Structure formats: C-alpha cells, structure tokens
Amino acid sequence: MKLLGLIGGISWISTVEYYRLINEAVNEQLGGLNFSNCMIYSFNYEDIKRNNDAGDWDKTLQMIADVALSLQSAGAGAIVLCANTMHYIADALAQKINIPIIHIAEETAHVIKRLEIKKVALLGTKFTMEYSFFRDKLKEQGIEAIIPNDKERDFMHYTIFEELGRGVILEQTKHRYLEIINSLIEQGAEGVILGCTEIPLLIKQSDITVPAFDTTAIHAAAAVRFSLA
C-alpha cells in the first residue's frame, strides 16, 4: 500500500470526510483491520484564506509546497490537496515536488466523460468558479462548464466560508442552492459538479434531478486507487 500525503485543514470539516472516505474504501477492498496508510497535515485555514483574499497565491503556494516537500521526505507516494480551490496552484506545486498530485478536477472530468455528459454546472468558491483551472480540465475532456451569476456566486462563496466551512448547515441555504442549481439545469446543465469539498455536506444526489458529482468522494476514490495499485 502506497503512503498518501493529505494536505488538509482547508477546511478541517472536509478533511474529516476525506479521512473517513479513504479509510472506508481501503477497508472495503482489503477487509480485516486494513485501513489507509496516510499522513495528514492540517493548516490553520485562517492563514490560507488571508493570503487568498489578498490575492497572494504565491505565499499560499510556498506554504503548501513546504508541507508537500515534508510529506514527500517522510515517504508519501502522492499528494492529495483536500480542497478544490487549492488546485489553483496544483500545476505550480507539481514543479516543486517529485511525486504526483492526484488532481481533483482531472479525476472529476474523467468520471463525467464516462457518462458522456457534455455540459455541467460548476459550483464552488468564487475562485473555483471564476478562475479557469477547473474548467480547463473539463474542457480537455470536451466538457463545457457553466456557472451561477455574479450575485449567486457571491452567495455561494459567503456560505462556503461562513457556514459550511464551520460545519453550519442551514435549511434556507440549502433551499437557495437548489434554486441556483435548478436555474443552471434550465440553462442546459446535464449534471452538477459539487466543486467545493464542503458542498456535499449540504446537497445530495437525492436533492436534484441530474447527476451530482461529489468531488470529495471522487477525489478520495482516486487516492485509494493510487494507494492500492
């Protein structure tokens, strides 16, 4: 079993989900008392968010790279960035380390392509929705991504940091998310990417009429495949 290096705390809420999903999947495949061989570094999210809000992605990159190099030195066979937004720096990070990064957008794009879906709604932080790093990976697989309007993106960004990232789940927030999702479906979305690792805590497949792509679950499954290959 290859050793996984998980970089979390971005947020700790979703990092817990990664740890649970990865361990459950390993045990399901190997049985007994077999669980994931992994290391987790958990950031103080406030330090990361301060950089990102100021547009200082270079500082965030250096913080993440320092941790990734430490995990690499400790024997990790791959890095798992436990957040969609952090994949904005994934390509730059890959130039600083000698082990692979299991990329959440690449893995999600492969899952969507297998279903022959050509147009999806992309939800997440404003960084994930507005920057091109996630949409580019989809485009490589012939998949078009559409995003909410400005006001809706502001709402999602706020609730991700002020509610979901703190473990606060509100029914009125879920209702508004579903309104936004249904609007995007009316615009032609054949599926919905839950492109923030906290969103699956709020929105489930049973809530919507098209396929929901839980990036946390997809990413965790990819990490397990790497570890057990």
CA distance to 47, 131, 181, 225, per residue, from 214 (Å): 26, 20, 14, 17
Q: Note if the pTM is more than 0.85.
A: yes
Long-range residue pairs from 125-129, CB within 8 A, at least 24 positions apart, any chain:
125/84, 125/85, 125/156, 125/157, 125/160, 125/161, 125/196, 126/153, 126/154, 126/156, 126/157, 127/52, 127/85, 127/88, 128/84, 128/85, 128/88, 128/195, 128/196, 129/153, 129/156, 129/195
d(CA 90, CA 156): 23
Q: Fold identical between 4-103+218-228 and 105-214?
A: yes
Task: Specify whether the CB–CB gap between 153 and 126 falls below 8 A.
Answer: yes
For residue 170, the model assigns a pLDDT of 96
Q: Which CATH class is domain 105-214?
A: alpha beta
Class of domain 4-103+218-228: alpha beta
Q: In what order do the strands lie in the sheet with 191-194?
A: 144-146, 119-123, 191-194, 212-214
CA 54 remoteness from chain centre: 21
Q: How far apart are CA 91 and CA 176, in angstroms?
A: 33
Whole-number pLDDT of residue 134: 97
**CA separation for the pair 120, 14 (Å, rounded):** 23
Distance CA 180, CA 175 (A): 9
| Residue ranges per structural domain of the chain | 4-103+218-228, 105-214
Alpha-carbon distance of 192 to 123, in angstroms, equals 7
Alpha helices, H only, the chain: 12-30, 45-53, 57-73, 90-94, 104-114, 126-130, 133-140, 150-162, 171-186, 215-228
Per-residue pLDDT of the chain in tens (229 residues, 90 and over written 9): 999 999 999 989 999 999 999 999 999 999 999 999 999 999 999 999 999 999 999 999 999 999 999 999 999 999 999 999 999 999 999 999 999 999 999 999 999 999 999 999 999 999 999 999 999 999 999 999 999 999 999 999 999 999 998 889 999 999 999 999 999 999 999 999 999 988 998 999 999 999 999 999 999 999 999 999 9
Q: Can you give the C-alpha Rg of the chain in angstroms?
A: 17
CA atoms within 13 A on the CB side of 51: 18
